A and B are shown apart, each in its own frame.
Chain A
Amino acid sequence: MNIDNFRRAVLIVGLALPMSWTAGSVAAQTARSYGVKVSTPTINQTASSAVLPPGGDMVTNSGQSIVVGSLVTAQDAFAIVTGDADATDGSNAVSSATLGAVSLLSGLITADGVVAVASSTIGGNATGSDAQGSSLANLVVNGESVSDPAPNTWMDLPGVGYVVLNEQIPTGDGVTTSGITVNMIHVVLLDALTGVQTGEIIIGSASSAVGN
């Protein structure tokens, strides 16, 4: 399942659950995280990926060394997802993706610590999602040091495309559903002549969503 399909799944959770047949509410949660994802016309690879099963519980995955052609090298990737659907006491979903040293596009972008955390909760007195705990260490983009980038920081990559740092994409209505996807480094590859998107690279992605 690619990230777009996952976002659609999160949307379906939010839309479909309130319409389900039971008289009471039906709780649900989704969570997914991964260390590296590369999508180009010739490469379609996701490394250290964890997806929470429908019944909840916990799933983990890890990889000590990840190499995707000349596009990405990464060390010590961990993906952890956990959550529980509980119509009585409230539901939660938490996912995290962490990496050590990463290098993209032959060193065009480097960092030595990537943390993506997504957390969603519903029930009790609160409904919401956040990316608290996410961070980038010693990030350098095209020779420029970038410290603690704000959510959805956009930077041009001449001849390559652009990168969105600390990308945060909320989902849900905030009342009966809530979710978030955080991509710490999201490179969009563009054709230098036409400007058409030719691929993307995502480093450190965590998603969570809950519905009641």
Chain B
Amino acid sequence: MFKLRTLAMLAAPIGVVLIASSCDRQPGAVAPGIGKPLAHFQPGNFVCVPVKITGGGRIDYPPEQAEKNPPASHEYETFGAHVMGSGQQDANGVCLADKGALEWVDHRPEMEVNGHPLNLHATEVTFAEVATDASCTDGAVHWGGKLRVQNTGQSDLDFEVWDCDNGEPGRNDGFAISVPAIDYAVQCFTVTPADPTCYLTGGNRQFHPTH
């Protein structure tokens, strides 16, 4: 055990250096255009830095409030989502995501497809940039990529997400999504004018400024 500890203590600084060197900050990020003007946070106020945001939960939309709708209304969405980026940009200045995932279920009766809840599943997460002026105390991230509509099989659809960690408890956090190709969006511009995220009515988002 002593040898194992010694080996680990010697290896740890090397690992830290390797990780740190892969996370050099590259400010001035831009997100890729995906079909319509991006109305996120405050235009232009993003940086490409190492980031991770994790968690999931529930949103009751509409009417863009921090309280649950009556359960019988079925007016809610549930989701899980995470993204991680190391602050690297491509040749076009896009702030690249290293990995990510999104599962989104819209339980609203009016959004049903063939009698089942609308289910969106990310197939690729391509970008993640940190918002510097959002009204989120712990951190805010704009990220996105490609997704598939599980109900119909429509795939390779661009999506973007606005993600807000507003401290604890998680019900102060926010989340918003847009899929322009199917004219689908859950956004709450009226709640926090600086960004379109809707309050979580359950669950939690956790911003990790380092990784």
**Chain A residues near B (Cβ < 8 Å):** 21-22, 56-58, 60, 62, 64, 76, 78, 80-84, 86, 88-92, 94-96, 98, 100, 112-113, 115, 117, 119, 121, 124-126, 128, 130-138, 148
Contacts and interface: CB of A to CB of B under 8 A. Distances in A.
Interface of B: 1, 5, 8, 52, 54-58, 68, 71-74, 76, 78-82, 101, 103, 105, 107, 116-117, 119, 121, 138, 150, 167-171, 200-204, 206-210
25 contacts: A22-B8, A57-B101, A58-B56, A58-B103, A60-B80, A78-B117, A80-B103, A84-B54, A90-B206, A92-B54, A92-B55, A94-B56, A96-B58, A96-B203, A98-B78, A112-B72, A113-B71, A113-B72, A121-B206, A124-B138, A125-B168, A126-B167, A132-B201, A137-B73, A138-B72
A92 B204 contact: yes
Contacts of B55: 82-83, 92, 94, 119
Given A80-B79, A133-B58, A121 B170 contact: yes
Given A89-B207, A121-B206, A78 B54 contact: no
B82 to A, nearest CB: 6
A interface SS class: strand
Contact of B54 (A83, A100, A131): A83
A57 B170 CA distance: 18
A58 B204 contact: no
Residue from B8, B68, B71 having most chain A Cβ neighbours under 10 A? B71
A130 B171 CA distance: 10
Contacts of A86: 52, 206, 208
Contacts of B150: 62
A113 B208 contact: no
Contacts of B57: 94, 96, 117, 119, 133
Contacts of A100: 107, 117
